[in-house]
Amino acid sequence: MPTRTPEGPDLWQDDWYRPAIALASPHCDPRPADAQTDLIVVHSISLPPGHYGGDEVAALFLGTLDCASHPYFERLRGLRVSAHFFVRRSGTVVQFVGCNQRAWHAGESHYRGRSRCNDDSIGIELEGLEGEAFEPAQYAALTQLCQALAQRYSIAFIAGHEHIAPGRKADPGAAFDWLLLQQGLDLPSLHFPAR
């Protein structure tokens, strides 16, 4: 089960979420000066696909993945990616990039009339595989994290990678329960992708 989230200003140390494990990734850069951080992008990832509980995702985001350790990893050689957060199956949250910085999670993307979603979004990766269900502990941690982000940033939209890069990406996938997240956040449907 995820740890109880502290309340109020104790949630944040600068742009780092205090309940998370902090592992600073070099794969980030400053946001554009005019960026409005108003979008949360939900992703899913597991390395190798369908394998849970290892350190491979963290190693990818930190730039330390041993690409010779598994045949699948050869396709990731030289890849420089990151997300702000990674939510493990247990509900443990790991933060790789401060939220005021631009993480490299969205790639070529377009949503709510804007391109380059990395510029003004916060990327949250869920440990999982497209088409497979996510754990209740992950939804609980994701809900708490989204609430904390909405208290600190002007979050107006929450979407999946599949919504900001349709045809190119399909995560978090059909098994992700958008209605459960919406109900947990008590937000109207206009903040979420059309279902």
Catalytic residue, candidates 56, 108, 125, 132: 125
Q: Is 130 a catalytic residue?
A: no
| DSSP assignment of the chain | -PPPPP-GGGGEETTEETTSEE---S-EEEPPTT----EEEEEEE-SSTT--SSSHHHHHHHT---TTSSGGGGGGTT-----SEEE-TTS-EEE-S-TTEEES-S-S-EETTEE-GGGGEEEEEEE--TTSPPPHHHHHHHHHHHHHHHHHS---EEEEHHHHSBTTB--S-TTS-HHHHHHHHT--GGGS---
CA distances 106 to 43, 58, 115, 133, Å, are: 9, 17, 10, 22
Q: What angle is formed at CA 42 by the lines to CA 50 and CA 157, rounded to 5 degrees?
A: 165
What residues are annotated to the active site? Answer: 125
